[in-house]
Chains A and B, each alone.
Chain A
C-alpha cells in the first residue's frame, strides 16, 4: 500500500527586520 507523506510542519520565521533587531540586541548583550 502506498503511504501518504506526512504534512510538513510550518516553521515560523521572523521578518528580516525582526531578525536584524534580534541580532543587534544579541551583539549589544555580548561583551
Chain B
C-alpha cells in the first residue's frame, strides 16, 4: 500500500519579513505608487495590515532601527502621496482610512490591556513583544488630522459652488415662483456668468458619492459622521451668510423653499444612517432663519414667538433678516420699525456674538475613536498585483 506523507505547511504567524534593502521598494509599491482601485475586492485597509505585519516582524527580531526606518519612510510616503493628490477625494480617503487603521493596529496589538478587551486569544498572540510605539501612535494621529483636514478641504471645494444656488435660488416647489417678490434681478453669488445653477439633487448626488467612497475605503463610521457634520456646518454657514446679505432671498417663499431643502437634507442623513452625527444640529441657525421668514411679524405676540423660537440666531442676525424682509406683494406689509424695536428690547439681555456672519471656515475638532478589527493577521492574503513577492510570510 502506498503511503503518502503530506508535509504540513509551516504555520503563518502573521508576520512579514523583508531585507532592509527592500524597504524603499516596499514603501514604493505599497504607498507612493499604489492606486486604491488596485485593491478593490480585497480587505479594506490592506496596506495598513501589511505594514503592521512588517513592523511586527521587526519587533519580533528586536530590530529597533528597522521599526524606526519603516515607520518614517511610510509616514513620509503617505505625506508625499497626499501632496501629489491634494484634490483627489478617493486617494485622500484611502490614506485617511489606512493611517487610522495602522494607528488602531498599533493600539490593538500594543500589549496595553485597555486596547485588548475585544481581542481573541489568537489576536493576543500577535501583539508586539519588544517595543512600545506610543510616540509613533502620536505621529500617526497627527498625520490623520492632517489628512482629515485635506479631505474636508477637497469636499468643501466641490460643494461650495453649488450651495447658494441649490439652497436659496433653485425653486423645486411647484408654483412658488408666482409668489416671489418682484423687482429683483435673478442673481447668483456662486458664479460670474453663464448658467451654472445647481439644484439640491446635485448636492445630494455629490454627498452620495462622497459617502460611497468613504464606505468603500473602510473609513471608520465615526469619522464619516464627523465629515458630514463638518460639511453640513459649511452648508449652513454659506447659506445663512448669503441670506443675511441678500434682500432678494429674504422672503416668505424662500423661507418655504429653504425649509423644504433642509428637510430633504435631513431625510438624506436618515437614509444613510447619519442622523446621529450632529449634522442636523449644525443647521439649526438656518432652520430658524427659514422659520423666521415664514412667521407673522406684526403683533407683540408675534415678536414673542420669534424671540422664543430663534435661539440659535443672534439679535443682530434676527434684526438684519427682519430689515431685509421683502413682502411678497402689495397685500403684505413691510416689517415695521416698531416691531423690530420690540424684538430688540426683548432680546437685549442676550449675550450674543458680535459678528453678523458665521465663520464658514470653522472646523470642528476631529476625534479618531479606537476601533479594533476582528480580522486576524494570519488570515490576510497579499494579492499578486501589489508586487510584494519579496515579503516572506513568517
Q: Is A31 in the interface zone, CB < 8 Å from B?
A: no
Residues of A within 8 A of B21 (CB): none
Chain B binding surface SS class: helix
Q: Is A8 in the interface zone, CB < 8 Å from B?
A: yes
Chain A positions 1-31 with a Cβ under 8 Å from a chain B Cβ: 5-6, 8-16, 19-20, 22-23
Q: How far is the CA of A20 from the CA of B143 in the complex (A)?
A: 11
Q: How far is the CA of A20 from the CA of B64 in the complex (A)?
A: 20
With A16-B146, A19-B76, A23-B76 already in contact, the answer to whether A9 and B130 are too (CB < 8 A) is yes
Set A6, A16, A22: member contacting B142, Cβ < 8 A: A16
Q: How far is the CA of A12 from the CA of B131 in the complex (A)?
A: 10
Instruction: Report, as a range, how many residues of chain B touch the other chain.
Output: 20 to 34
Complex contact B132–A16 (CB within 8 A): no
B86 to chain A, nearest CB (A): 15
Residues of A within 8 A of B320 (CB): none
Complex contact B111–A8 (CB within 8 A): yes
Complex contact B67–A11 (CB within 8 A): yes
- Interface-facing stretch out of B133-141, B256-264, B291-299, B346-354: B133-141
Q: Is B238 in the interface zone, CB < 8 Å from A?
A: no
Find the B residue at minimum CB distance from A23: B76
Complex contact B128–A19 (CB within 8 A): no
Complex contact B138–A9 (CB within 8 A): no
Complex contact A11–B136 (CB within 8 A): yes
Q: How far is the CA of A22 from the CA of B68 in the complex (A)?
A: 13
Set A5, A10, A20: member contacting B79, Cβ < 8 A: A20
Chain B positions 123-173 with a Cβ under 8 Å from a chain A Cβ: 128-136, 138-139, 142-143, 146
Q: Is B71 in the interface zone, CB < 8 Å from A?
A: yes
Residues of A within 8 A of B64 (CB): 9, 11
Q: Is B72 in the interface zone, CB < 8 Å from A?
A: yes
Q: Is B75 in the interface zone, CB < 8 Å from A?
A: yes
Q: How far is the CA of A13 from the CA of B136 in the complex (A)?
A: 6
Residues of B within 8 A of A23 (CB): 72, 76, 79
Residues of B within 8 A of A19 (CB): 72, 75-76, 139
Set B75, B131, B146: member contacting A8, Cβ < 8 A: B131
Complex contact B142–A15 (CB within 8 A): yes
Residues of A within 8 A of B136 (CB): 11, 13
With A8-B111, A19-B72, A19-B76 already in contact, the answer to whether A13 and B135 are too (CB < 8 A) is yes
19 A-B residue pairings within 8 Å (CB atoms): A6-B129, A6-B130, A8-B131, A8-B132, A9-B131, A10-B131, A10-B132, A11-B64, A11-B68, A11-B133, A11-B136, A13-B68, A13-B139, A14-B72, A14-B139, A15-B139, A15-B142, A16-B146, A19-B139
Residues of B within 8 A of A (CB): 64, 67-68, 71-72, 75-76, 79, 111, 128-136, 138-139, 142-143, 146
**Those 9 A-B pairs whose CB atoms lie nearest each other, nearest first:** A13-B135, A8-B132, A10-B132, A16-B142, A13-B136, A23-B76, A11-B131, A13-B139, A16-B139
